[in-house]
Amino acid sequence: METRDAISLISNIREKVNRFIVAEMVKRGVDGIGTSHGDIFYSLFKSTRLTMADIAKRIKKDKSTVTALVEKLVRLGYVTKERDIEDTRVVYVALTDKGQELEPIFEQISQEVLNLFYMNITETEKESLLQILKKIHVNF
């Protein structure tokens, strides 16, 4: 393997992780949610009510992308949207009970992903990997 294969390898790992997550969600009876929705859920697990702009900022996606993702979650019954009474341009998003029920499922799957990701990797290797990935991230 050549050093130039690193980007391809990172891309392939990302694809495999995403497929694993979707398969685990389906096993647990959660269908219709893509991995792109995960960051929205995690943001709402931490803060019960956020504006669309806050979500976009937290997950580093543009507002139009967030709008499309949230609309799907509304249709599936996982979140609600509510306009601000004083400023109707502001839209708040909150988890429904159905959405809140996903938190333990997300945590289980997240732990399984991490266990698989770091299988056979020492603590020292984990630290080195994280340092290298942070450097690469800063480079871009």
Q: What is the pLDDT of residues 73-110, one digit of tens each?
A: 999 999 999 998 999 889 999 999 999 999 999 999 99
pLDDT band at 64 (very low <50, low <70, confident <90, very high): very high
The separation between CA 115 and the C-alpha centre of its own chain, rounded to angstroms, equals: 17
Report the candidate in 107, 99, 86, 106 with the shortest Cα–Cα distance to residue 49.
99
pLDDT average, residue stretch 45-72? 94
Q: What is the pLDDT of residues 2-21, one digit of tens each?
A: 878 999 999 999 999 999 99
Terminal alpha carbon distance of the chain: 23
pTM of the entire predicted model = 0.86
Identity of the amino acid at 126: K
**Per-chain mean pLDDT for the chain:** 95
- Check which CATH number belongs to the domain holding 48 and give it: 1.10.10.10
Q: Which of 95, 69, 68, 65 is nearest to 82 (CA)?
A: 95
The answer to whether residue 8 is domain-embedded is no
Residue 13 within any structural domain of the chain: no
Q: What secondary structure does DSSP assign to 56-105, as a single string?
A: HHHHT--HHHHHHHHHHHHHTTSEEEEE-SS-TT-EEEEE-HHHHTTHHH
Q: Is residue 73 part of a domain?
A: yes
Domain presence at residue 4 = no
